[in-house]
Amino acid sequence: MKLVSAVRQKFFFWVDKRSPQQQEVTLRQRNIYILPTRYGWLMLMILILILVASINYQNNMGFMAGFVLLAIGMLSVFYTYRNIRGLRIRALKPQSAYVGQKCSFPVVFFNSSSSYRSSIGIGVRKKKVHYFDVEPQSNTLFHVNIKAGRRGLLKPERFVCTSIFPFGIFQAWSWFKPTHAALIYPKPIECPQVLAPQSQGQEQGAFAQKGSEDFYSLRDYQSGDPIKQVMWKAFARERGLLTKEFEEQVGEQHLLTWESVSQYDKELAISYLTDAVIKAEQAGTLYGLELPHTLVGKGQGAEHLHQCLSALALME
């Protein structure tokens, strides 16, 4: 097993040198490989037996059958290779996902020729690919789904593009390494205990709106302003009619800290904080996140949620 693993590692090291990491690749002779499938190897064995028997018995019909099979095999090599040659593949930026979900890596196939490309396969391994067709002078978007097993950055080693069209006795394929990596968020798990926020209520950072509690500023009087808010002292000093403005703090604000979950296992604690962040966003409150080496200020919205989940996903 160690010998097989070492040979495989050296082989893919050679492949990666020929096909370096890139966002877009064009399939050409340099990066296309072709070998018989198991049916192709079976056909080759049958062909050899037919030719050996024909030579032994001087059977012309056997020679004809053998040469016909040989011609089919040679045509299969040509058409299978031509089916993927010239395709241009571009890997797009994947969307983030949570641990346990399938992460989708979008890949676009461009066919600039007038040939119809049938049964083009794409996947992470040759044995597990999904097939589709690419029409002439068009492009096709396909999503390669990879299950996210752990948080952090998910970057496939390589994708494989393959085809066994038209006869299924030869397989042509090419590897390419995408440049994009997907960010995998931790799996949200509800904490058995309520995570007490460090601060909440009417404190610094809460929502401010017009109200009647705290004096905010003065402005010129406008028709319709309440009489009780008119600053009569300023009017008596001949400063004109001025109206007092007030504001009040509404809503809640949460600062979710690592100390509140530090007694749990590290990965479990991260999952608890992930669930708390999601729930704070759904509740519409201001929230922040304090980790050992990262501080995300209080905020709200999709971008703020992404910042908090990213910090949790990349926490070391």
Helix (H, G, I), strand (E, B) or coil at 108: strand
- Asked if residue 302 belongs to a domain, the reply is yes
Q: Which tens digit of pLDDT belongs to each residue from 166-195? A: 999 999 999 988 889 999 999 999 988 877
pLDDT confidence tier of residue 8, bands split at 50, 70 and 90: confident
The alpha carbon of 160 is separated from its chain's Cα centroid by a whole number of angstroms, namely 17
Provide the pLDDT for residue 213: 45
- Please state the φ and ψ torsions of residue 81, each to the nearest 5 degrees: -65, -45
- Asked if residue 246 belongs to a domain, the reply is yes
- Asked if residue 44 belongs to a domain, the reply is no
The predicted model gives 272-285 an average pLDDT of 90
Residues 219 and 309 in one domain: yes
- Asked if residue 84 belongs to a domain, the reply is no
Task: Examine the fold and report which residue of 185, 220, 250 is the final residue of a domain before the chain moves on.
Answer: 185
Q: Which tens digit of pLDDT belongs to each residue from 121-155? A: 999 988 889 999 999 999 999 999 999 999 999 99
- Asked if residue 129 belongs to a domain, the reply is yes
Give me the percent of the chain exceeding a pLDDT of 90: 53
- Asked if residue 24 belongs to a domain, the reply is no
The two structure tokens encoding residue 208: 């401010």
Out of 20-24, 228-232, 263-267, 268-272, least confident range: 228-232
Residues 136 and 222 in one domain: no
Q: Is the dihedral of CA 80, 85, 88, 94 positive or negative?
A: positive
Taking 70 as the threshold, does the pLDDT of residue 203 lie above it? Answer: no
Task: Examine the fold and report which residue of 120, 150, 185 is the final residue of a domain before the chain moves on.
Answer: 185
> CA dist 271 to 13, 54, 90, 194, 259, Å?
37, 70, 34, 14, 14
Taking 60 as the threshold, does the pLDDT of residue 39 lie above it? Answer: yes
Output the CA angle 82-30-40, nearest 5 degrees.
50
Average pLDDT value for the chain: 84
Residues 215 and 299 in one domain: yes
Domain count of the fold of the chain: 2
- Asked if residue 112 belongs to a domain, the reply is yes
Residues 212 and 306 in one domain: yes
Taking 60 as the threshold, does the pLDDT of residue 201 lie above it? Answer: no
The two structure tokens encoding residue 52: 């050996």
- Nearest-10 crossing angle of helices 266-283, 302-313: 180
Please list, residue by residue across 144-160, b when 16 or more beta carbons sit within 10 angstroms of its beta carbon and e when fewer do. bebebeebbebebebbb
Taking 60 as the threshold, does the pLDDT of residue 196 lie above it? Answer: no
- Asked if residue 195 belongs to a domain, the reply is no
Provide the pLDDT for residue 211: 44
pLDDT confidence tier of residue 255, bands split at 50, 70 and 90: confident
Range of the domain at 274: 207-313
Residues 181 and 221 in one domain: no
**What is the rounded CA–CA span in Å between residue 167 and residue 194?**
62
Torsion of CA 8, 127, 136, 180, to 10 degrees: -60
Taking 90 as the threshold, does the pLDDT of residue 311 lie above it? Answer: yes
Residues 121 and 211 in one domain: no
